Amino acid sequence: MAPPLLQLKDIGLTFGGTPLLDGVELAVAAGERLCLVGRNGSGKSTLLKIAAGLIDCDRGTRFVQPGATVRYLPQEPDFGDAATTLVYVTSGLGPGDDPYRARYLLEQLGLTGDEDPATLSGGEARRAAIARALAPEPDILLLDEPTNHLDLPVIEWLEAELEGSRAAMVMISHDRRFLADLSRITVWLDRGRLRRIDRGFSQFEAWRDEVLAEEERDQHKLDRKIVAEEHWMRYGVTARRKRNMRRVGELAALRQARRDYRATAGSVSLAAAQADKSGTLVVEAKSVSKSYDGRPIVTDFSTRIQRGDRIGIIGPNGSGKTTLLSLLTGALAPDEGVVRLGANLEMAMLEQNRDSLDPASTVAETLTGGRGDSVMVGGQQRHVVGYMKDFLFAAEQARTAVGVLSGGERGRLMLARALAKPSNVLVLDEPTNDLDLDTLDVLEEMLGDYAGTVLLISHDRDFLDRIVSAVIVPEGDGRWTEYAGGYSDMLAQRGADLARQAPAKAAKEKAEAPPPAARDAKAGKRKLGFNEKHALETLPKTMEALQKTIAALHAGLGDPMLFSRDRKAFEEMSRAAAEAEAKLAAAEERWLELEMLREEIEGR
């Protein structure tokens, strides 16, 4: 086994009361890709900061191999006094690092390098922080929610960039697809302890459920043994008139073990307060258009949304998703066309912007509107503390100021406030931001049981695939197209992901492209970029690994009894084989393209 580049031993940390981390052990070897999972508040971000050397623990040791470089991507980057994003990114480079890579990454992430950090949006700040973390090509990458505030094209670009990286990685993310695609090892932080499974995230949840079920069985056995020992204490000692001190000590130890056992936290209980049914027609839009400063945001768009539909709106940041949602809900009037809303609509809205929460208000005041200790949920009065517990808030947090809550807690608070209102239409703008995986599971289940209509904006591909019945996608120049099914179904129908151009736009640009002679003259100074050279070197190994994976999957699928014996395994292997073949085809196409470019440049 390779020696670890980074090792944490016997890490302990307590912020008053129950230990947040208790005897945590973590080792990361070269090239390993770990995902760190656990509930909000379990200490994941704190552990990552300890690994980065940013905070001290109460006990334990941190070891980094001499000469190994560590880069940490925080949830909220600190730009300090950097005047521009380029200054911020290059300030993280070492003496031997290539400054061109900083510019390359900023360009790939849609930034010029001249932006003032003080004026950046949340998504732009996240992209600048990603560029700073990746630019030095570190030996170890510690990534805390890298996909937060990113749109789908950037998420897919980041996945590809990390896939080609040689760095060891520890990732925290709520994006299931991102973790499943990149992780090879899963570490689970639960009740202060860390458990490890040498499998990727796609197999984590089944393993976790087995662990919790076995733990529950062990606790049941312990409870029964305590009852038996207490029975002996009451009757056996008296009957023999002799105290067996060994058994008395064993009973005391059993009781202590029962007291020391930290039960899993309760589960979130989400339920939307439902109003009376709406009419069959919820929204009808005919030839709707909207522009700002001459720029078309929505052009000649028509759709018909009926009761029970679940519609996802996806696209790059700045493409007009929130504008389209506002048009469909009647919050914004179109420049042209007509939007007709159905009868008896009761809308509940969850905004993406957490700034709508007053940081000075308490959790209870946010839910009650500052009026008493009760909250109306679906027309029924409930005590605010009881309603808070449905969303995993402790009773003592009722008087906690919103400003000190974590991102996940603020997300749950906004959900609690939105779902208390009776509705038959839920309008959700980025509902998955900052939510842990357990809360996401319950949110998905709640939306599945919801009898009304759901309109949502999300960049979470797995969430979209599980929830929506159709997606609306921008095609450029204000044109939007509706596709049946989820995100994966859209890809199959559209033939291109959101990072690539729609066919019509690509054809238009091809027609407007300069003649070959002009292109050749411009390309006279063309050189292979840093990333292109790296891809030429690493793609053959990637293709070889994919070929071995495909061969192994096909060998498993060759078992004639597999489908009848384990249909789920057959379907998972078929899906994995298809994904691996798609990745291999893309890698081969990219390598051939780069090899031809290299030969062309060297032949000039």
Both 148 and 199 in one domain: the answer is yes
Q: Which of 450, 469, 500 is the last residue of a domain?
A: 500
**Residues with Cβ < 8 Å from 588, sequence gap 6 or more?**
543
Report the pLDDT averaged over residues 508-512: 42
- Residue 393 buriedness (CB in 10 A; 0-12 / 13-18 / 19+): buried
Q: Average pLDDT for residues 573-588, to the nearest whole number?
A: 82
Asked if residue 196 belongs to a domain, the reply is: yes
Per-residue confidence (pLDDT) for residue 246, from 0 to 100: 57
Contact 327, 304 (CB under 8 A): no
Residue 378 has pLDDT above 70, yes or no: no
Per-residue pLDDT, 523: 39
pLDDT value of position 514: 47
- pLDDT, residue 527, reads 61
| Alpha-carbon span 184 to 180, nearest angstrom | 8
pLDDT band at 353 (very low <50, low <70, confident <90, very high): low
Query: Are residues 235 and 145 located together in one domain of the fold?
Result: no
Alpha-carbon gap, residue 337 to 105, rounded angstroms: 41
344 is in an annotated binding site: no
In angstroms, rounded to a whole number, what is the distance separating the alpha carbons of residues 394 and 234?
38
pLDDT interval class at 346 (50, 70, 90): confident
42 labelled ligand-binding: yes
374 is in an annotated binding site: no
Mean local confidence (pLDDT), 243-266 = 55
CA atoms within 13 A on the CB side of 487: 21
322 and 237 assigned to the same domain:
no
CATH number of the domain at 559, please. Answer: 1.10.287.380
Q: Report whether 43 belongs to an annotated binding site.
A: yes
Domain with 436, as residue range(s), is 308-332+344-500
Q: How many CA atoms lie within 13 A of 20 on its CB side?
A: 17
Report the chain's mean pLDDT, rounded to a whole number.
82
pLDDT digits (tens, 9 = 90+) for 193-252: 899 999 999 888 888 888 888 877 877 776 776 666 655 555 554 444 444 555 555 555
Query: Is 511 a domain residue?
Result: no
Known binding residue 322? Answer is: yes
The angle, 0 to 180 degrees and rounded to 10, between the axes of the packed helices 567-602 and 530-557 is 150
Largest Cα span, the chain: 107
Cα–Cα distances (Å) from 130 to 54, 155, 189, in that order, read 18, 11, 25
Q: What burial class does residue 241 get, using C-beta atoms within 10 Å of its C-beta: 0-12 exposed, 13-18 middle, 19+ buried?
A: exposed
Q: Which residues contact 52 (CB under 8 A, 6 or more apart)?
A: 70, 72, 142
- The verdict on 232 and 182 lying in the same domain is no
Q: Is 39 labelled a binding residue?
A: yes
* 318 is annotated as contributing to ligand binding: yes
Angle at alpha carbon of residue 160, lines to 158 and 164, rounded to 5°: 115
- Split at pLDDT 50, 70, 90, the class of 1 is low
Examine the domain organization and report whether 435 and 488 are in the same domain. yes
pLDDT band at 257 (very low <50, low <70, confident <90, very high): low
Q: Residue 356 annotated as binding?
A: no
Instruction: Say if CB 490 and CB 478 are below 8 A apart.
Output: no
- Is residue 303 assigned to a domain? no
- Name the token pair of 401: 């100021």
Q: Are residues 549 and 598 in the same domain?
A: yes
Judgement on whether residues 89 and 186 belong to the same structural domain of the protein = yes
Q: Are strands 168-172 and 140-144 parallel, antiparallel or unpaired?
A: parallel
**Of the segments 35-49, 271-285, 419-433, 522-536, which one has the largest average pLDDT value?**
35-49
Q: Give the SS3 label for residue 337.
A: strand
Q: Is the pLDDT of residue 264 over 70?
A: no
Does a structural domain hold residue 372?
Answer: yes
Q: What are phi and psi of 274, to 5 degrees?
A: -100, 135
CB atoms within 10 A of CB 550: 18
The reported pLDDT for the residue numbered 499 is: 55
- State whether 438 and 464 are in the same domain: yes
Judge whether 288 lies within some domain: no
Torsion on CA atoms 62, 67, 68, 70, rounded to nearest 10:
80
Rounded-to-integer distance, Cα 43 and Cα 91, Å: 29
In the prediction, which pLDDT does 520 show?
Answer: 41
How far is residue 74 from each of residues 67, 132, 402, 603, measured CA to CA in Å? 22, 11, 21, 45
Q: Which two tokens stand for residue 396?
A: 């003592």
Mean pLDDT, range 153-166, rounded to an integer: 92
pLDDT at 243: 47
Residue 533 labelled as part of a binding site: no
Is 496 domain-assigned? yes
Q: Does residue 138 sit in the same domain as residue 226?
A: no
Q: What is the pLDDT of residue 194?
A: 92
The CATH number of the domain holding residue 77 is 3.40.50.300
- Tell whether residue 321 is among the known ligand binding residues: yes
pLDDT of residue 603: 63
Going edge to edge, which strands form the sheet with 425-429? 347-350, 425-429, 453-457, 310-313, 470-476, 479-484
Clarify whether residues 534 and 492 are in a common domain: no
Q: Does 294 count as an annotated binding residue?
A: no
Is there a single domain that holds both residue 201 and residue 221? no
Beta-carbon contacts of 249 under 8 Å, excluding residues fewer than 6 positions away, are none
Q: Per the structure, how many domains does the chain have?
A: 4
Q: Which of 106-120, 273-287, 363-377, 524-538 has the highest mean pLDDT?
A: 106-120
Predicted local distance difference test score (pLDDT) of residue 336: 94
Give pLDDT tens digits for 470-508: 999 998 889 999 998 888 888 888 876 665 544 344 334
320 carries a ligand binding annotation: yes
Residue 297 maps to a domain: no
94 a known binding residue? Answer: no
Percent of the chain with pLDDT over 90: 35
* 147 and 17 assigned to the same domain: yes
Average pLDDT for residues 300-316, to the nearest whole number? 91
Point out which residues pair with 339 in neighbouring strands: 285
Per the DSSP assignment, residues forming a β-bridge with 64 are 6
Note whether residue 556 is domain-resident. yes
